[in-house]
Amino acid sequence: MERAVAVGAGGILERTPSKGEQLMLFAKNFVKHPKMLGSVIPSSRFLIDKLLAPVDWANARLFVEYGPGIGNISAEVLRRMHPDAKLVLFELNDDFTEFLKTAFRDPRLIVLHRSAADVGRVLAEAGLGKADYIISGIPFSTMPEGVRNDIADATHAALAPGGQFLVYQFSPKVLEVLEPRFARIDRDFEAINVPPAQLYFAHR
Ligand SMILES: C[S@@+](CC[C@H](N)C(=O)[O-])C[C@H]1O[C@@H](n2cnc3c(N)ncnc32)[C@H](O)[C@@H]1O
């Protein structure tokens, strides 16, 4: 079973869509929106483990994720995070947003059909405060420069001091917006993913 749905024991899922159903949904949307997805299949569990490696699970209380797709990273964050923590998902794709609302049942999860660029407004309006971690797989390399800069500005402002922006990408283009804003950026690489991915851990 794919890790994305291997959380049933924690009571997180309302139902368990088959791995085939999930992959079909992802692949169908890749055909419709190739630039928005960037990959024909979801992230591997190897990439997810590396991306989440820096997280201080005992103390983090607010997680944000941009572009969760079918929620395979989200499921792992829910499985590991503190019972009092929250996870807020920003997803632009209609099919994925509906899927996420149906597939997950966890009071700590908020699924939004909103752009990552709205993160500051959303967190402020909901009174959630600043995020400890913002996780992102949205394709910075294919979005317009203005959007890329808006999301980077909003992300930096939405993070708590000491918070981190955990990013995986298939191109290093994102560094153009990370380097001017974040004082320290750690890097990693995961080969067992389609395609192999660069990881950036940007410290606020
Ligand atoms: C590569 S897919 C990521 C899928 C998933 N995170 C995974 O690990 O398999 C990129 C996702 O980002 C979403 N996306 C693109 N631009 C976005 C934006 N500005 N705000 C929120 N989501 C966005 C797309 O709809 C798509 O679901």
- Residue pair 119/158 in contact (Cβ under 8 Å)? The answer is yes
CA of 66 to the centre of ligand 1 (A): 6
Six-digit token pair at 17? Answer: 């869509």
* Alpha carbons 135 and 51: distance in angstroms, whole number: 8
Best mutation site among 96, 98, 138 for ligand 1 pocket (most ligand atoms within 8 Å of CB) = 138
What's the predicted TM-score (pTM) here? 0.90
Averaged pLDDT score across all residues of the chain = 90
Mean pLDDT lowest for which of 4-13, 42-51, 149-158?
A: 4-13
Q: Which atom of ligand 1 is least distant from the CA of 42?
A: 9
CB atoms within 10 A of CB 9: 8
Residues pairing with 13 in the sheet: 104
Give the CATH superfamily of 24-203.
Answer: Vaccinia Virus protein VP39 (3.40.50.150)
Cα 55 from Cα 62, distance rounded (Å): 11
Q: Which pLDDT does position 85 carry in this prediction?
A: 98
Task: Give the tens place of pLDDT for each residue, 109-162.
Answer: 999 999 999 999 999 999 999 999 999 999 999 999 999 999 999 999 999 999
**Residue 14 pLDDT greater than 70, yes or no:** no
Specify whether the CB–CB gap between 204 and 161 falls below 8 A. yes
What CA–CA distances, in Å, run from 36 to 24, 40, 61, 93, 114? 17, 11, 29, 9, 14
How buried is 171 (Cβ within 10 angstroms: 0-12 exposed, 13-18 middle, 19+ buried)?
A: middle
- The band of 8, judged by pLDDT with boundaries at 50, 70 and 90, is very low
> C-alpha 99: how far from its chain's center?
15
Pocket test of ligand 1: the residue of 29, 36, 41, 50 to mutate, having most ligand atoms within 8 Å of its CB, is: 36
Pairing of strands 197-203, 109-112: unpaired
φ, ψ of residue 139 to 5 degrees: the values are: -80, 90
Residue 16: which pLDDT band, with cuts at 50, 70 and 90?
low
Delimit the domains of the chain by residue range. Answer: 24-203
Q: Identify whether the C-beta of residue 117 lies closer than 8 Å to the C-beta of residue 150.
A: yes
In tens, the pLDDT along 68-124 reads 999 999 999 999 999 999 999 999 999 999 999 988 989 999 999 999 999 999 999
pLDDT at residue 128 in the model? 97
* Res 189 pLDDT > 90: yes
pLDDT of 11 > 60? The answer is no
Ligand 1 cavity residues, CB under 6 Å: 36-39, 42-43, 66-69, 72-73, 90-93, 96, 115-116, 137-139
Burial class from Cβ neighbours inside 10 Å (0-12, 13-18, 19+) for residue 78 reads: buried
Percentage, residues of the chain above pLDDT 70: 92
